[in-house]
A and B are shown apart, each in its own frame.
Chain A
């Protein structure tokens, strides 16, 4: 069952990436984005490199997906290990994470639908847009670059993921949803905060 969900998630993620590459990240959009920074020949080189190494992106999808699932599972396993509950098997938490992670496929689909009906958009609009996130309350072009990722990360899908995970793990906490949710928040929440702060650090260093 878990294998089917993993396969489904990888297929959907690859499909979303394919749609974005073919229909939204067009050559004209890339040219428009880089036109103020590079010459025409440089932009053409960038585009040809992007096309040449497009397959690397597809190859990385399953690898990054599995790394993400494993890291989340590890965080929650640590939380469960430290809480006063019956010790859970790693594979059970892994299955719960894979199932709850299906929620993160929805924003990609929403994004595709949203931009299908948009006439004028830039590469920045595609990068910034995250349906159901706190970033939608601000103008992304006016805020500090380092705040973009944290604001994108706090979204309804993330909250739904916490609840879904707590609900799936509830039976291992004697049907106590509160305790399950607390463990998820303490373990996965800590991991997420570290990750967000790390990305802010990277953004600051590369911007």
Chain B
């Protein structure tokens, strides 16, 4: 049992890290694509239903804080 766990635990740890690594890589690739696409968009602005100004150039909350 112990020997079985000795193989299984590192395998699970490395597997989890690999999955997360590839997910992060994919997401970064996707973000770069979006950045390249939005760089050529002209500056436009809209009004929300409440009448507030909404702009694609408006700064957004840069860092989501989890902890």
A interface list, Cβ under 8 A from B: 34, 36-39, 41-42, 78, 81-82, 124, 127-128, 145-146, 148-149, 190, 193-194, 197-207
B38 within 8 A of A: no
Could you tell me the distance between the alpha carbons of A205 and B59 in the complex, rounded to whole angstroms?
Answer: 18
B33 at the interface (CB under 8 A from A): no
What is the interface size of chain B, counting residues whose CB is below 8 A from a CB of the partner? Answer: 27
Measured in the bound complex, the distance between the Cα atoms of B62 and A145 in whole Å is 7
Name A197's contact: one of B20, B28, B66 (CB within 8 Å): B20
Cross-chain contact B17 with A204 (CB below 8 angstroms) = no
Question: Is B13's CB under 8 angstroms from A190's CB?
Answer: yes
When the two chains form their complex, are residues A194 and B23 in contact, meaning their CB atoms are under 8 A apart?
no
CA distance A206 to B31 in the complex (A): 12
- Chain B: minimal CB distance from A24 (Å): 14
Q: Which of B5, B50, B59, B61 contacts A82 (CB 8 A)?
A: B5
Within the complex, what minimum Cβ distance (angstroms) separates B23 from chain A? 6
